[in-house]
Chains A and B, each alone.
Chain A
Amino acid sequence: MHPLSILSPSGAPEADSDPAWSIERVLSLHRAMVRSRVLDRIMGDLQRRGLVSIFAPAKGHEAHIYGALLALRPTDWLFADIRQGAAALYRGFELRGWLAQLLGTSSAAHAGHANPTEFTARAVNFVSVSSPVGTQIIHAAGTAQGMKSKNVDDCSFVWFGPAAAAAGDCHVGLNFAGVSKAPAVFYYCSSGDAQADAERLGPGHFVDRAEGYGIRAARVDGSDVFAVYAVVADAVRRAREGKGPTLIEGVTGGLSGEGDPLQRLEGYLVSRGEDPATIRQGIEATFEAEVRGHIEDLLREPTPETSTLFDDVFANPTGQLIEQRTALETHRRRFAGGVID
């Protein structure tokens, strides 16, 4: 199956395929991608400084993320792996709260319970990310089955990569969705290294496996945000109409040159008479200052209270948890000044 492209490698639309969207809509995608790059860069910086233990950059995956988000609506549920955390921001999750989760400071919604890649943003239907790869594929199928049972015409959407695609949970999730015909869209992002992917998944196209599950398949140029939008929009429409799940393979390009989704989109903007380099620099300067301002504030926050370590194990703590919490707090109070002779 040949992947769908709308933009040529230089960014010019293929013949007669210009989506002809309003320039504002195109620029909003561009802004999201540029912001994502800024976050990648700053997180890399924080990682080197030891302030963030782990972060997975989205670079090269921006078309997978923003093309899909544009095709979905806010009530559709997002299941991500560790690269798509910034999707929550695109849906309107506030930046400061997002950064607090990343830094694990006291204002983080989970008070630092999870590592920096494991975002949660319930307010925008972004399900909390888990480090074990591929587990979320089954959850997406389950949530979709719940949507179907409740006669809601939303869908669940899940991104995953080659490691998850090799895991048993991927097979299980696709099998369950194939049987239940639930409104789920499975979006596989290749790694951008075809040889490495072949070593994990064999030489064929991953998406060809869909046929065996009775799931519709689509393949798309993952450097082309317009093409991703078109393919996901089609899958989502079918899901809403009760026509069942789709497995999409987003073919990730290289991280530079024509395979770079941001560069491709900027080529298109040039064809629309815009000056993307200047626009990009403006976004970078403003957004970087905003992000760094929040980070400075957040780093001044105290670490979360000791008691928060025991929060949200259950809705109400058990007697055992209360006893352990009290013991730790008492111990810490006693030795707050170090060991006293």
Chain B
Amino acid sequence: MPVMNIIQAVNSALDGALAADEDVFVFGEDVGRFGGVFRATDGLQAKHGEDRVFDTPLSEAGIIGTAIGMAIYGLKPVPEIQFSDFIYPAFDQIVNEMAKFRYRSGGQYPCGVTVRTPFGGGIRGGHYHSQSPEAYFAHTAGLKVIVPSDPYTAKGLLLTAIDDPDPVIFLEPKRIYRAARSEVPDEPYRLPFAAAVDREGEHVTIVTYGAPLHEAREAADLLAKNDISAEIIDVRSLVPLDEETILASVRKTGRVVIVHEAARTCGYGAELAAIIAEKALMYLEAPIVRVTGYDTPFPYTLEQQYLPDALKIFEACETTVDF
């Protein structure tokens, strides 16, 4: 089985989807001839043609509005927003149009758009190339929000997203686009929109998604040397949320550390903490702890201090175990 990085896995998924279904269209800024600023669409235009894989004017509202017009017409558009920091000009199209078309039409106009967009920090991009906007979209009824954490999940979840009849915001952790490598089948496969136990443990549950999964693994290794056994849950699907996989782990360990890069206040971790408190309170041995970005704009020089890292996660787990 070939070993791929996330970019290659995304490219492989798009290539397979374009080959299998002539209703799939891939487009965005510099997506066609150039192959994408991160090369995720490299070679796809040459292989599948300029009608199927194309460049658009630089307008996020235009890219998403075009995708909506195609999706309600019955096609399967997969637009790319080059950085999720630039998705806000399309916010009205996403929140008021894409997310509501099915509901407001009573199911007459489904809007199956898959919006791919790189997100997260750690690439020295400053606050306009580093943001984590997942909570805005998870808060919007009618959108599914998916975050892969490695090449294998990137390909399998993206193919599920493209098949899904509803709109999906597919957030790709760009910090690990090339760093994360895993075995990925060449042929198409689909992963369910569900959480997975990434590592089994006994004393504390680390709940996370995207790039910080890798820092959580590092932290778990450090914890193991201190005789603390950490279970790691890779959430993968923020909407719909697989509550049971998370709650089963909480019932087992009784201790929870939630990790994400996005700012703390009203971040997705707040929702996770609320659900755990509502549904597993009597199993908790310690307060839920969050390791997150801070309530500041994403910084340039001190980005490594802003980001959750293995030591912050280690310390949070230690604190909750010692409570």
A116 contacts partner chain B, Cβ-Cβ < 8 Å: no
Contact A144 B69 (CB under 8 A): yes
A315 near B65: Cβ-Cβ < 8 Å: no
Contact of B105 among A120, A141, A168 (CB under 8 A): A120
Inter-chain contact B70/A142, CB cutoff 8 Å? yes
126-173 of chain A: CB within 8 A of chain B: 127-128, 130, 132, 135, 138-147, 149-150, 156, 168-169, 172-173
Contact A139 B97 (CB under 8 A): yes
Contact check: which of B69, B100, B144 meets A139 at CB < 8 Å? B69
Partner of B57, one of A111, A145, A176: A176
Q: How far is the CA of A128 from the CA of B243 in the complex (A)?
A: 34
Interface residues as binary, B47-83 with A (CB distance below 8 Å gives 1, 0 otherwise): 0000110001101011001111110111100000000
In Å, the complex CA distance between A227 and B266 comes to 56
List residues of chain B with CB within 8 A of the CB of A168: 61
For B108, list chain A residues within 8 Å (CB): 109-110, 120, 122, 128
* Residues of A with C-beta under 8 A to B102: 312-315
Given contacts A139-B97, A143-B70, contact A128 B109 (CB under 8 A): yes
* Interface membership of B35, Cβ < 8 A: no
A138, B57: Cβ atoms under 8 Å? no
User: 1/0 per position for A306-329, CB-CB distance to B under 8 A?
Assistant: 000001111100111000000000
| A130-B62 Cα distance, complex, nearest whole Å | 17
Q: Which residues of A contact B166 (CB under 8 A)?
A: 314-315
B105, A110: Cβ atoms under 8 Å?
A: yes
Q: Is the CB of A142 within 8 A of B65?
A: yes
Contact between chains at B103 and A313 (CB < 8 Å): yes
The tally of residues in B whose CB lies under 8 Å from a CB in A reads: 43
How distant is the Cα of A110 from the Cα of B105 in the complex, in angstroms? 6
One of B96, B109, B241 near A319 (C-beta < 8 A): B241
Q: In the complex, which of the residues B52, B62, B67, B101 contacts A175, with contact meaning CB atoms closer than 8 Å?
A: B62
A91-129 near B? 1/0 per residue, CB < 8 Å: 000000000000000001111011000101010000110
- With A175-B59, A314-B166 known as contacts, the answer to whether A138 contacts B101 (CB < 8 A) is no
Q: How far is the CA of A173 from the CA of B59 in the complex (A)?
A: 10
A312 to B142: give the CA distance in the assembly, Å.
9
Chain B residues, CB < 8 A from A122: 105, 108-109
Q: Known contacts A130-B97, A313-B102; is A318 also within 8 Å of B240 by CB?
A: yes
B242 proximity list for chain A (CB < 8 A): 319
A179 at the interface (CB under 8 A from B): yes
Residue B93 at the A interface, CB < 8 A?
yes
Q: Report A-chain residues with C-beta under 8 Å of the C-beta of B59.
A: 172, 175-176
Bound Cα distance A150, B109 (Å): 19
Chain A residues, Cβ within 8 Å of B66: 138, 141-142, 145, 176
Distance in Å from the Cβ of A136 to the closest Cβ of chain B?
Answer: 8
Are A120's CB and B104's CB within 8 A?
yes
A77 interface residue (CB < 8 Å to B):
yes
**Most interface-central of B66, B107, B110 (chain A CB within 10 A):** B66
* A130 and B93 form a contact (CB under 8 A): no
Query: A72-101 toward B: CB 8 Å interface, digit per residue (1/0)?
Result: 000001000000000000000000000000
- Cβ B106 vs Cβ A135 within 8 A: no
Q: A118-B104, A120-B104, A139-B69 are in contact. List 20 more A-B contacts (CB 8 A).
A: A77-B73, A110-B104, A111-B106, A113-B103, A135-B65, A138-B66, A138-B68, A138-B69, A139-B68, A139-B97, A142-B65, A143-B72, A145-B69, A149-B75, A169-B92, A172-B59, A176-B57, A176-B59, A314-B166, A319-B243
Which 9 A-B residue pairings sit nearest by Cβ, starting from the closest?
A: A142-B69, A138-B65, A110-B106, A318-B240, A142-B66, A122-B108, A120-B105, A139-B69, A143-B69
Taking Cβ atoms with an 8 Å cutoff, the residues of A that contact B are 77, 108-111, 113-114, 118, 120, 122, 127-128, 130, 132, 135, 138-147, 149-150, 156, 168-169, 172-173, 175-176, 179, 311-315, 318-320
Task: Give me 23 A-to-B residue pairs in the complex whose CB atoms sit less than 8 angstroms apart, sorted by A's number.
Answer: A109-B105, A110-B104, A114-B104, A120-B108, A127-B109, A130-B100, A132-B92, A135-B97, A138-B62, A138-B93, A139-B65, A139-B69, A139-B72, A141-B62, A142-B67, A142-B73, A149-B25, A169-B65, A179-B57, A313-B102, A313-B141, A319-B240, A320-B241
